[in-house]
Structure 1
Amino acid sequence: MNFTLPEGLPPGRFVSSGSACVWVADELPCDVDGVWRPLLSMQEDTELVPLLGGTFLSRPIDLAQISAVRLEDALTSDFAEYRRRRLPWWTDPTPEPVPEGTAPWPHDPGPPFETWPGLAPATPVTDTAPSPADAAAHTIGHLIATNPYELAGCSLVLAPAQHSADIPALLGWDAEAPLPLVCALLRSWEERFGARVVGMGGRLFVSVARPPQTAAHADLLALEHVLSTADNIVDDPPTPFPEYAAILPQRTHWSFWWD
């Protein structure tokens, strides 16, 4: 089912699959200020989420499945199981065998928690922090300028949704991700960090208006990233948890992929 489009769009077309429908520009517009920023600023009024993507429609997931996720309960049990499986490696600094000529994998001591520590607190909104729309525009501009390979085949997509966090579920993103959990995390990150889904293809790209500000704050958020089950957080390439957490303060975009 088609929807009303805002004015000033480049040429494009509607693409639908079952109940999912998006509008896709014929070519990727690189004019961030002229095209992307106005669409991002109007998002709450139009309920159309602009993002970098392609024709990736599959089987949508009912948003009720996202609402049914109780993050604290889910992550409490998920961390207990994750820690049980990983603890032997965290407590044994013996390097893993690697092929000859390959540098040993760095030892990962794991997160500094024995039990689920709770969700990371929200980063406060300040006068100097960018708005979520401005942060999203900045991230999209950065991705267009620096990731031509990652964005091959991508264009401007408009998807009807109240929250960008729901887009992977609404469009049935064809990834190995546990979409109800991931979208529940994305909804929570929208509220706590001003996060927005800005790209979806081989990776999920997320802009961040209010990143964590301290190492302790980043440790909590990094654990949430780990429990999203995304492969690239600490597993591929092998990355010690403290090293991953250390990059999150002040970082204004995140990316996730599942294999």
Structure 2
Amino acid sequence: MDDLDLRPRLPGTLPQLFGDGAAGRVLGTPLPPGDVVWPDPGYPQRRIQTGPAFWVSEEPVSGELWARLRAEHPRSGLWPLLLDDSDQPWAAGQVAPEPVEEIGNYAPIAFMSEVWSEWAEQATAEEAEELAPFGLECPGPAPRGAATEDPGLVADRHARLLEGRGLSLGLVAVERGADAIAAVGWQGALNHNEWTAPLAAVVRSWEDRFAARVVGLGFNTLELSVAAPPVTARHALQVAAEHWAFCPDILFQGPGDLAGYADEIRGRTSWSFWWD
């Protein structure tokens, strides 16, 4: 009896998310009803999927639950997501997971430069003016920001703000939140970039430089918290350039030019993206 392990192991079908059966993983926070989601066999896949992509709750959850699960991530190996299924039910399994191992094959600076170069080849003078002062010249990634708060607490606060949208809970077996967008098979930016792994590489870089955390996903949306945002106009402008390469639709959603968008994100502790 002395060797009896009474630690709260992963409940229900959650161990299926791990190739090793979730050895050593524990979760103490009670979960609402839910189940794992398997990719649709008839849906175009990025790889042969040997297991479920993620777990999803049956009903909307609170931001407080997200926060508790986020705090348990180091022990559970499960990154929480607030999932908006108003346009496409996540439980339908219309997802195409990509290997997390491939994310490291992409360099954010190369992704940004490629997007900028392809756009510059056919950009009009008016379009180039929208990206002033950079225009046709890619400025490259911005310097890192300085965190003024704990990144986890900033993420928790953003999750509580999002809970009013009635979002479901997703759990993904990944070591860091940025990897979740590839692991769940999210295709929200498909019209911008065919693969999700390069976008995950960019988000990894934002985790490192701006203490960003992935909080929520929708059919074609992404919600990040940011504990080290740019606070000067110059820094915000270069970060805005990164955002444009990541999601060109940001200019159509808001002020129409890079300078105006930079003003919007200066000092802001959350970044929201939407792809047409």
Fold-level similarity (TM above 0.5): yes
C-alpha separation in 1, matches of 2:267 and 2:37: 38
Cα distance, 1:41 vs structure 2: 1.8
The aligned amino acid for 1:234 is: L
| 1:10-52 CA-partner distances (Å, limit 9, x unpaired) | 32222131433323233222252xx232221222332211110
Cα distance, 1:8 vs. partner?
2.7
* Counterpart in the other structure of 1:25: 57
Q: Does 1:48 find its partner at 2:78?
A: yes
Match of residue 225, structure 1, among 243, 249, 253:
243
**Equivalents in 2 of 1:36, 1:73: separation in Å?**
33
What is the DSSP-based 3-state SS (H/G/I as helix, E as strand, rest coil) of the residue aligned with 1:181? Answer: helix
Q: Which amino acid aligns with 2:56?
A: V
Cα drift, residue 237 of structure 1:
5.2
Identity %, equivalent residues: 30
The one of 103, 113, 134 equivalent to 1:66 is 103
SS in 2 for 1:222: helix
Of 147, 159, 169, 1:140 maps to 159
Does 1:255 find its partner at 2:272?
Answer: yes
Tell me the equivalent position of 1:205. Answer: 223
User: CA offset at residue 157 of structure 1?
Assistant: 1.5
Q: 1 CA distance for matches of 2:100 and 2:171?
A: 18
SS in 1 for 2:60: coil
How many residue pairs end up in the alignment? 231
Following TM superposition, by how much is the alpha carbon of 1:227 offset from its aligned partner in structure 2, in angstroms?
0.5
Stretch deviating more after TM superposition (195-204 or 57-66):
57-66
**Alignment partner, residue 187 of structure 1:** 204
Q: Tell me the amino acid that sits aligned with residue 51 of structure 1.
A: L
Shift of residue 156 of structure 1?
A: 1.5
Q: 1:11 to 1:81 in 2, by over 3 A?
A: closer
| Structure 2 counterpart of 1:10 | 31
From the superposition, tell whether residues 15 and 226 of structure 1 become closer, same or farther in structure 2 (CA, over 3 Å): same
Q: For 2:63 and 2:112, locate their aligned partners in 1 and report how far apart those are by CA, in whole Å.
A: 40
Partner residue in 1 for 2:133: 112
Larger relative contact order (C-alpha < 8 A, sep ≥ 6)? Answer: 1
- Cα deviation for residue 238 of structure 1 reads 6.2
Flag as ranges the 4+ runs of structure 1 deviating above 4 A: 2-5
After the TM superposition, which residues 64-143 of structure 1 pair with which residues of structure 2 at under 5 Å, given as runs? 64-90=101-127, 109-113=130-134, 114-125=136-147, 129-143=148-162
CA distance in 1, matches of 2:35, 2:162: 24
* Consecutive unaligned residues in structure 1, runs of 5 or more: 92-107
For 1:230 and 1:109, the matched residues in 2 are separated by: 11
CA contact (8 A) 2:36 2:56 kept: yes
For 1:5 and 1:239, the matched residues in 2 are separated by: 47
CA-to-aligned-CA distance 1:147-175 (integer Å, 9 cap, x gap): x2xx4xx3121111111111111111132
Q: C-alpha separation between the residues in 1 aligned to 2:101 and 2:245? A: 21
Change (3 A) 1:197 1:116: same
CA pair 181-138 structure 1, distance change in 2 beyond 3 A = same
Query: In 1, distance between residues paired with 2:238 and 2:109?
Result: 13
- The answer to whether the Cα contact below 8 Å between 1:181 and 1:228 also exists between their aligned partners in 2 is no
* Cα RMSD for the two superposed structures: 2.2
Give distance in 2, aligned partners of 1:22 and 1:109: 39
Residue segments in structure 2 that go unaligned for 5+ positions in a row: 1-15, 39-48
